Amino acid sequence: MKNPFHIMIIPTLGCPGRCKYCWSSEEGSPVMSVDTVRDLVAWLKEFRNDRVTFTFHGGEPLLAGADFYRQVLPLLAGELKSLTPDFALQTNLWRMTPEIARILAEYHVPIGSSIDGPEEITDSQRGEGYFAKCMKGYEVAKAAGLSVRFICTFTNKSVRHKEEIFDFFKAKGLDLKLHPALPSLRSENPKEWALEPADYGDLLVYLLDKALENFGKMEVMNINDLCRCVFTRRGSVCTYVNCMGNTFAIGPEGSIYPCYRFVGMPEWVMANVRDRPTMEQLMQSEPGRRMTAFSDYVDTACKDCSHIRYCRGGCPYNAIAPSGGELEGVDPHCPAYKRIFDELNERMNAEMFDEPPSGMGFGLSVSRKKKPGVMTLMRKISMQ
Ligand code: SF4
Ligand code: SF4
């Protein structure tokens, strides 16, 4: 069960990597001080009384160094015990050391990292040497007993190698989580790497088939999340719920943003942790109003869509940021969401008609071994 409240801590926007499609790294970015984390703790004690997950994100969060984690993990876990905090960290692993790994293992911090498939494909998108440095850090993390999962960014170039990428994850015994490359707001050619919505939709359907073909051997996390949405008729990851008010990101200097994707954009600062704002004050800030306007807009723009309950117009960042804060539409990935949600619903309905309830086989052989379908996957997910 995911925690209802999510705080993303961005210790720095700096990163030693040079991924070609990255939009969130800034050279010379300051590093968060422990005093800022103390301000964060003081704010959260009064702010909201719910189970919380803290995700350290970046830039590259390991640049904050071992001392930072040695101090802030006990601070957050101890001072905010009533919120039963969980932790997570998203890193390229280049700066993972046995010392940091030991501290993270003490607090059971699961690690999310990023590789885009085999070394050649990864390095062609993330820069020469990325893969080797990431794998070196992976070994250090594993040796300390940390759990590591990899996110694979699919770009308009790597999607042509989807079979090779899937086979790579399978051969390595890794579950797959995918991320579509977004248009970079900081590039002169924002769409250079971005995955087109139609290609993203095709990719999701391809991965659904692969997940079923490899049922019990390998998982595709996005497919699990999408199945959970359709099965429960509720969004299960931030893209498909109203994230406003449930997710906030804290920048290196304590500024509060609606999500890590906005960190470093002054026009998206809602307040600072040292001012201990209330939820109402955050909602009344200019970015808070813009996020609420998105949710209201979705009620109208998506009202005729059968997936609105568990899609909610997708990600507001994707919708608003490329147009400089103007509300011009829902998440541009809408065609991809529609494609996979339609596919899941159609298959679910077909399988339900196809499958007589137990004891109603009317003499037909129902013990025939069938290939796993989406209902098999949904049943498994509902038990997790
Ligand atoms: S803005 Fe997008 S990425 Fe950020 S929390 Fe909301 S849905 Fe998730
Ligand atoms: S699939 Fe598209 S139209 Fe339907 S709710 Fe999602 S964003 Fe809106």
Query: What φ, ψ does residue 256 adopt, rounded to 5°?
Result: -100, 130
pTM of the model: 0.90
Residue 124 in contact with ligand 1 by CB distance below 6 A:
no
Res. 384 pLDDT band, cuts 50 70 90: confident
Give me the pLDDT at residue 146, please.
97
* Alpha helices in the chain, H assignment, sequence order: 34-47, 65-79, 98-106, 119-126, 130-143, 162-171, 197-213, 221-232, 279-284, 286-301, 308-311, 316-320, 334-354, 374-382
Give SS3 for 257: strand
Contact 224, 212 (CB under 8 A): no
Q: 260 CA to middle of ligand 1, Å?
A: 8
Q: Which residue, 341, 339, 313, 343, is CA-closest to 328?
A: 313
Any atom of ligand 1 within 6 Å of the Cβ of 316? yes
Mean pLDDT of the chain: 91
CA 248 to chain centre: 14
> Which candidate, 224, 172, 204, 230, places its Cα nearest to that of 335?
204
Q: Is the CB of 311 under 6 A from ligand 2?
A: yes
Alpha-carbon span 341 to 306, nearest angstrom: 9
pLDDT confidence bin for 297, thresholds 50/70/90? very high
Residue 275, strand partner residues: none
DSSP one-letter string for 17-85: ---TT--S--TT-----HHHHHHHHHHHHHH--S-EEEEE-SS-GGGGHHHHHHHHHHHHHHHTGGG--
Structure-token pair, residue 81: 């015990």
Q: What is the Cα–Cα distance from 327 to 329, expressed in whole angstroms?
A: 6
Span 101-115, average pLDDT: 97
- Rounded to the nearest 10°, the torsion over CA 314, 315, 319, 324 is 170
243 Cβ closer than 6 Å to some ligand 1 atom: yes
Q: In terms of residues, how long is the chain? A: 384
Task: Kindly tell me if the per-residue pLDDT of 362 is higher than 70.
Answer: no
Q: Give the per-residue pLDDT at 333.
A: 95
Task: Report phi then psi at 321, rounded to 5.
Answer: -60, -45
Atom of ligand 2 nearest to the CA of 338: 1
pLDDT at 137 over 80: yes
320 lines ligand 2 (CB under 6 A): no
Summarize the confidence of residues 53-67 as an average pLDDT: 94
Tell me the CA–centroid distance for residue 86 and ligand 1, in Å: 19
Ligand 1: nearest atom to the Cα of 318 = 2
pLDDT at 241: 78
Question: Which pLDDT score is estimated for 182?
Answer: 85
Note whether 47 and 157 are within 8 A (CB). no
Q: Which of 246, 321, 318 is nearest to 282 (CA)?
A: 246
Statement: residue 368 has pLDDT above 60: no
Ligand 2 atom nearest residue 313's Cα? 7
317 lines ligand 1 (CB under 6 A): yes
Say which ligand is closest to the CA of 311. 2
Predicted confidence at residue 25, as pLDDT, reads 62
Whether residue 236 is predicted with pLDDT greater than 90 in this model: the reply is no
Instruction: Name the closest ligand to CA 329.
Output: 2
pLDDT at 174: 93
Residue type, 366: V
Q: Rounded to whole angstroms, how far apart are CA atoms 137 and 1? A: 29
Q: Is the CB of 269 under 6 A from ligand 1?
A: no
Higher pLDDT among residues 303 and 187, named by residue: 303
**Residue 94, token pair as written in the block:** 């280049």
